Amino acid sequence: MSDFAAPIAEQIWDMKYRLKDASGAPIDADISATWDRIANALAAPEDEPALWTPRFRAALQDFRFLPAGRIVAGAGTDRAVTLFNCFVMGTIEDSMAGIFEALKEAALTLQQGGGIGYDFSTIRPSGATVKGVAADASGPLSFMDVWDAMCRTIMSAGSRRGAMMATLRCDHPDIEDFVAAKADPARLRMFNLSVLVTDPFMEAVAADADWDLIFDGTIYRTTRARELWEAILRATYDYAEPGVIFIDRINAENNLRYVETIAATNPCGEQPLPPYGACLLGSINLARLVERPFAADAALDVEALEELTGTAIRMMDNVVDASRFPLPQQEEEARAKRRVGLGVTGLADALAMCGLRYGTPEAAEATGGWLKAIANAAYLTSARLAAEKGPFPLYDRAAILAAPMVKRLDPDVQAAIAESGLRNALLTSIAPTGTISLLAGNVSSGIEPIFSAEYTRKVLQPDGSRTEEVVQDYALAVWRALHGDAPPPGSIVTVADLRPAEHVAMQAAAQEWVDSSISKTINVPADISFEAFGDVYLEAWRTGCKGCTTYRPNEVTGSVLSTEPSTAPAPAPQAQVEPFAPMDRPGQLGGETYKIKWPMSEHALYITINDIELDGQRRPFEIFVNSKNMEHFAWTVALTRMISAVFRRGGDVSFVVEELKAVFDPRGGAWMQGKYVPSILAAIGGVIERHMIAIGFLEGEGLGLKIDPATPPMRQAAGPSCPNCGSFDVRMIEGCATCANCGFSKCG
């Protein structure tokens, strides 16, 4: 069956992945046309495309192999976008020129849709001397604020959503400020943060020893390792960041440790990459490979899994040749090493259909066995591709055969590598699959547990009304198709049923057979003690995980894991949106156009303000100012872009009115409609104020905020709202805030 398994799947396809022309008219007639487009594009690099196109097409059928969203949306189109998901940018040179060159490269990468990671450990700490200018350095966090503003600007200009990861070493002198940065909910909104934790640091924590904070060989000060470790844990306990990356383990396990050193990851952490490193992603849908689901002899078809893995690796290897790249350095890096990241999705559903409860030793053992089969099939395929097309350019036989991951493979696979080499330096990774898993019929995401077996989704209709539809997890839907309304089996468990240790056990079982890393969120209850919370990280360290990301519902991030309706009365609707990320622009918006004649200008200004409606409340979304007077062209364009960016961030944006009304023109203002207006910008502010009053966003003149609020508005009890659809059904999955209502993901 290749039809959509649920209405939400077709809606996701039409919204995010269906190829359309510039006017929005569909080019892909149906999902089969999308699969045809992808199969043709990925077979094109082959010597015999006609031979491989049907094989690639068969792998895509029934949502069995799911290329990452950028491939589904971009392959076989003429769009100037990258098909790669993950980039780590070049090493930031510790100079003003180097820093802003890195900023430019980041903007170019985000513009094409790539998520990026940066290690800011190379920037000198705050207070360090800057030679030649008689000044002190402002430190890495000040420049991270610049990156954050750049990313918001790229997003507000209508480009694909940007996502960024910032890392800092645990021995950098500014590490404590980095750890505490997200205590301010308005700061670094476009970044995920992770601390690069080293083996010596963990040993110092265990010994309660001193820990030196060093930059460029100079010890700036000394702290207690355990105090710093507890500060990291406390920050994560209180506001969910920073994450922890065990960077020495990553480098020790890296197949390419002989030619690269890793100091950063992509935004969700599943791809540790060197400077200018790039990786593309794809997932095997395990839920579609279960035979006789829920029967006593239910089992995953391992032979089909191995065959599908081989086809998927060949397809992904071809993406390296078919893709565009934002920067030439990224293309050079990708083609020198030909990294791919094949992972899985639907793991929890597959376990449930096989009668295995997620988190149990039996489920962990099955997970390890399935991923071992994928690893062996992936490496064997890559060896065969090397025999056919040649190994990756930086291949070193002795170094690869000595790599820890390669030494764990089956003997026949190691022999094939020894004989032919590898086409791809690294092959496996488990990435976030939020919207792709929805496309596949709401299968469980990545290796995460089932979040909710069933929930109600509100759907906006063409006439503006909303209807409700029940969305079921894929495994539950299969159970219902087989057994009707009979109570589901005990193997169908959700995130609310699991203990933190069970999450860690599943991540560790998977990590053994994943040569890159894993994007996974370990959800913990709000009432977990701080000591037990710390034990989660120590267990992740002890069991071989390469990193640890937790989520505890709290006052800063909200209770995004709530699936049960609150018994408390719902708060009254407020004219605000959680500033979680700029809202996406719908295809059509309503608004008003106002004309003002500034007495000192020959031509009138025409001000258009468009609104969006959320929870029955209109709020300004964007503004345009037009005039025949070219003297004002540059600043009006800049002004409208900045104001629109503020409008899209959510919250109470009425401060914009007061800021504009307070602008004083030293050449003098003008009298307009019996009032003195100090500048043309103040006149524009007055128009915005009148519009906000007219739509009910402001109660009256002069009642806007006087300053940009330093803290976000009180959030709705259900958690943060989705910036795309306004729904409060936002979940933390695989380190990404993901909307179950429309599929929006903070990570793109």
Catalytic residues: 266, 268, 270
Instruction: Say how far apart CA 677 and CA 662 lie, in whole Å.
Output: 9
| Contact in structure between 339 and 424 (CB atoms under 8 Å) | yes
Q: 349 near 77, Cβ under 8 Å?
A: no
Distance CA 117, CA 193 (A): 10
Virtual torsion, Cα 502, 505, 509, 515, nearest 10 deg = 110
d(C-alpha 431, C-alpha 268), whole Å:
8
- From the number of C-beta atoms within 10 Å of its C-beta (0-12, 13-18, 19+), residue 377 rates as buried
Spatial contact of 590 and 464, defined as CB atoms under 8 Å apart: no
d(CA 416, CA 376): 11
627 CB neighbour count, 10 Å cutoff: 18
* φ/ψ (deg, to 5) at 494: -115, 175
Strands (DSSP E) contained in 443-493 are 454-460, 466-472
Angle at CA of residue 573, ends 572 and 577, nearest 5°? 135
C-alpha span between 99 and 289 (Å, rounded): 48
Tokens at residue 424, please? 């791809």
- At residue 624, the 3 state secondary structure works out as strand
Cβ count near 696 (within 10 Å)? 12
Contact 161, 748 (CB under 8 A): yes
DSSP, residue by residue, 11-49:
HHIIIIIS-B-TTS-BSS-SHHHHHHHHHHHHHTTSSSH
Q: Which helix (H) or strand (E) holds 152?
A: helix 140-156
C-alpha to C-alpha distance for 136 and 116, rounded to whole angstroms: 29
Task: Please report which residue ranges of 402-548 form alpha helices under DSSP H.
Answer: 404-408, 411-420, 434-439, 474-483, 500-511, 530-542
CB 267 within 8 A of CB 273: no
Alpha carbon distance 650, 619 (integer Å): 9
User: What are the DSSP calls for 285-352, one per residue?
Assistant: EGGGGEESTTSTT-EE-HHHHHHHHHHHHHHHHHHHHH-B-SSHHHHHHHHHH--EEEEEE-HHHHHH
Q: Among all chains, which residue has been given the structure tokens 């086809």?
A: 311
